[in-house]
Structure 1
Amino acid sequence: MRSSPLSTDTNSSNEITDNAATDKKNLNKGSMRAVVFDDYGTPDVLRLTDRPIPQRSANEILIKVHASSVNPIDYRLRSGEMKGILPGGFPRIPGYDVAGEIIESPTKSTFDPGDRVIAFLDNKYGGALAEYAVCEPEVVARIPAGLPFEQAAAIPLAGTTALQSLRNHGNMQTGDHVLINGASGGVGAFAVQIAKAYDCHVDAVASGDNEEFCKSLGADHFYNYEDVNFEDSAERWDVVFDAAGKSGYWNSRTVLNKGGRYVSTEPDVKGMIMTVVTWPLSKSGTVMLAKPNADDLRTLIDLYEQGKLKITIDSTFPLSKAADAHRYVEQGVERGKVIVSHQE
């Protein structure tokens, strides 16, 4: 699999211009390769086919997608697990993470054709597993020249989820004691590093073979969930972030400090009820859904450029093997993110 980072020399500028011209010609054809599904089901419902290139409005950006990624929310939507929350919308192109180059942008936009960017797509149905994607400028951020597209594609949804869970919903403050459950996964690995960037004490929960990995991310202490249940610990935390969806508020609240916050990423009816019921309590619980936001993407990129955010890629699949990528993520990813490269 080849990645597609662009260099910053003169030849690179010509290459961007040439690529943009080629893409213009492709746009005239009106079609693109995309992964779609026409009904809920197993990964077998995903198929690679020709679809119309999305038509951007005057306020939207058109991006040539070089890489995307697969998140647990993608297979949950594909399987129909969340059809009560987000029904219909077929045929769908799954995925919300995009890394690529801008082809067209609004007249008054700060973006130009050829800009290397990431985006957390603001279309509720996704659209990332395709050659082109459209979105509002408010969910797009530039990436540095040295960041390969395949690594950049790991950031948007997982990084935003980790940042908003800890900062916005967990109200994380400098010096807090923070526990990350599922610390080796895509969201959890970002969460450990973000909490350390806030100078928090971080305890990580994962399987035993991920202890060294979690500590390499900055975790101060490690709990092997195969041997120890953190819910039975004598330790107390200001924030418990359940990135794995394996614990629950009513069990975790016993290990929260007074005024502590429990945050989960499991958007179901039971979790929504818990959020409402616990809101007035001294130890609150929240089920969150990440919101696309360019400022948050820029925060994550700044952390990356400062050396405070490492990106871990578990595996990379070509676009034609997107079903295999979904299947792999659905079985459970131990460490980091699963990437889909569009450069075949």
Structure 2
Amino acid sequence: MSTQLERSASQARDGSSNQTMTAFVYDDYGNADVLHCAKLPIPDRLPGQILIAVEASSVNPIDYRLRSGEMKGLLPFGFPRIPGYDVAGTVADCAPDAPFGRGDRVMAFLDHMRGGACAEFAVCAIDVAAKIPDSMQFADAAAIPLAGTTALQSLRDHGKIAAGKRVLINGASGGVGAFAVQIAKAYGAHVTAVASSDNESFCMELGADCFYDYEKVDFTKSVEHWDLIFDAAGKSGYFDSRDVLNEHGRYVSTEPDAKGMLMTLLTWPLSKSGKVMLAKPNAADLRELIRLHELGNLKVTIDRRYPMNQVADAHRRVEEGVDRGKVVLVNG
């Protein structure tokens, strides 16, 4: 932890008055230029919460979509807003009876609708954070929570993945997709990865059994069929994919738009159902992802690392499209 962050953490633990932290915020919707540095109060830790000194975070597509105002109808609160849902760091403050202690290394999937990760400190409920082993670097830990949870819940909870199931993952080289390939293999599935030709060797190294170059092969017209199609890229629709689903197969998408929500409602009673996936913060799922990482079944691929004060550049990088892995922000 940096000297400045250590000093701030000490003040937070001591309950000093007029405590402030450095945060990166936006005061209105717009492009990445609206992001700027600000001094804000260190968030109060309420009962049932922990205060985390943030060492690292990561940028997900939801972050720039919220910042641009694409989903402003879902977040009617005011400004300024601190973006980010992924946190890795150390516990700066917690209740004496909490399952954590000060100084514990943790990751968290923030449960506040507006985020809050791109700052020196963040608060979250106890049940959305998990201890990380000393062997896990903060940058790797910060890449996992939202994307890893999305992949896990999509495959296990909504896709009903099981050993021997045939699974297709569209967008297999991206942040969510790369985790999904590895999780599906860890659960014993046969995995078809779909991505660009440049990412074939990467997807096969993740454990995919076969690969489709989306520029040459349209999987929706394939003679093959799958038990689960997970559209991690948000590029294929349920009605395009249902013909290549096995009977009682499932389609899962990460695209939370009105069309996708309607698809979820219309198809739930059908033998081939579709669902839009919105990940829910859950400490048990974080612990499962950490377990897989410790076993060597879930490797983290980092596209680029940026210092936290370059959060605007990190947002631009994700908006441009990241071919492999995650974009990480590091404090200090």
Q: TM-score range by the shorter chain?
A: over 0.9
Q: Where in structure 2 are the equivalents of 1:170-249 lying within 5 Å? A: 170-249=159-238
State the Cα deviation string for residues 202-257 of structure 1 (Å, max 9, x = none): 00000000000000000000000111111111110000000000000000101100
Equivalence for 1:320: 309
1:250 pairs with 216, 239, 247, which one?
A: 239
Amino acid at match of 1:279: W
Give the Å deviation of 1:17: 9.5
Amino acid at match of 1:91: P
Q: 1:123 to 1:27 in 2, by over 3 A?
A: farther
Using the TM superposition, give the Cα deviation of residue 85 of structure 1 relative to its aligned residue in structure 2, in angstroms.
2.2
Q: How does 1:131-146 map to 2 (within 5 A)?
A: 131-146=120-135
Deviation, 1:102, is 0.1
Q: Which amino acid in structure 1 is aligned with residue 296 of structure 2?
A: G
Matched, 1:266 2:255: yes
Indicate how the Cα distance of structure 1 residues 27 and 198 shifts in structure 2: closer, same or farther if over 3 A, else same. farther
Q: Distance in 2 between matches of 1:42 and 1:53?
A: 26
Distance across 2 between alignment mates of 1:47 and 1:292: 27
The 5 Å alignment of 1:8-157 reads 21=10, 24=13, 28-157=17-146
Aligned residues: 330
Cross-structure match for 2:293? 304
**What per-residue deviation string (whole Å, max 9, x for no partner) do you get for residues 66-108 of structure 1?**
0000000000100111112223331110000000000111222
Q: Give the stretch that moved more between structures: 80-89 or 248-257.
A: 80-89
> 2-side partners of 1:254 and 1:23: how far apart?
56
Amino acid at match of 2:151: A
Q: Does the CA contact (< 8 Å) of 1:27 and 1:53 recur in 2?
A: no
Deviation at 1:29, TM superposition (A): 4.7
**Unaligned regions of 5+ residues in structure 2, if any?**
none
Is residue 9–residue 53 contact of structure 2 (8 Å, CA) maintained in 1?
no
Give yes or no for contact 1:89–1:125 (8 Å, CA) kept in 2: no
Structure-2 separation of matches of 1:37 and 1:292: 24
The unaligned stretches of length 5 or more in structure 1 are 6-15
Secondary structure of the corresponding residue to residue 292 of structure 2: helix
Runs of 4+ in 1 over 3 A off after TM superposition: 16-29
Cα distance in 1 for partners of 2:158, 2:120 equals: 34
Q: Is the 8 A contact 1:70 1:338 kept in 2?
A: yes
Between 81-90 and 66-75, the greater mean CA deviation after superposition:
81-90
**Identity level (%):** 63
Q: Report the TM-score, using the length of structure 1 for normalisation.
A: 0.93
